[in-house]
Amino acid sequence: MRNGPGRRREAVWPARCAVAAIIILYLFLPRPLLIGPRWAFPLAEGALLVPLALTSTRFRLGTEQLTRQLALALLAVVNVENAASASLLVQHLLAGSGGSTLTGRSLVEASLSIWLTNVTVFGLWFWELDRGGPYRRATEEEQMPDFLFPQMVAPQFAPKSWSPGFLDYLYVALTNAAAFSPTDTMPLSRAAKLLMSVQSLLSLITVVVVAARAVNIL
């Protein structure tokens, strides 16, 4: 991986698209699985696009840290929203077809939406966590990595200037959610291990408990 001020700036548009996807997925959730007005959480999540848009290697460190802290706070909001929707989904599933206002089909679709949101939001978490976030990865020389990518172990199989981008972190989130454990990329820091553990737990609840029960209702 390249080090120093000459490292290329990371593209932030994939992260912006990810936030937009999270908002769209939330808007299509059934009303019984939402907390408060339908517009409340999307409004907060839309604000996440502002710090993502402002992320730039040209910013001073103090300014970048402020926008990063705001982004992390809003990611936490998204996690709370998604966990709340998953909790309400479990309640409807436990109520069964007689005690729930939702059909089996809508429950399956909602569980898929919640799982995809889980993957996307943790992809954003990993992107913001590793080596202090995209700004620090582009501007600072020596940083301890939070994730060990295969290209770091076998650099001969990667371009000389390779460095992880958002899609790499999204892939890590996808494989972790699907396998309930790390696959080709290993967590190194305690923060990375904690995030991956939380994601695996949420994914396990959604896929094994929620989806299986929803299929039963069908």
Tokens of 138: 């582009």
Task: Report the half-sphere exposure of 124 (CA within 13 A, side-chain side).
Answer: 31
Average pLDDT, the chain: 81
The answer to whether the beta carbons of residues 68 and 128 sit under 8 Å apart is yes
pTM of the model: 0.85
Q: How far is CA 213 from CA 83, 150, 177, 198, in A?
A: 18, 37, 19, 22
pLDDT digits (tens, 9 = 90+) for 13-68: 888 889 889 989 988 888 888 887 888 878 877 776 776 666 554 555 556 677 77
The answer to whether the beta carbons of residues 157 and 151 sit under 8 Å apart is yes
Distance of alpha carbon 47 from alpha carbon 165, whole angstroms: 22
How does 17-42 read in b/e, with b if 16+ C-beta sit within 10 Å? ebbeebbebbeebbeebbeeeeeebb
The answer to whether the beta carbons of residues 89 and 111 sit under 8 Å apart is yes
- Residues contacting 107, CB < 8 A, separation 6+: 89, 92, 93, 100, 210, 213, 214, 217
pLDDT digits (tens, 9 = 90+) for 199-215: 999 888 887 777 666 66
Reported as a pLDDT band with limits 50, 70 and 90, residue 5 is very low
Distance of alpha carbon 12 from alpha carbon 7, whole angstroms: 15
Report the pLDDT value the prediction gives residue 44, as an integer from 0 to 100.
77
Reported as a pLDDT band with limits 50, 70 and 90, residue 8 is low
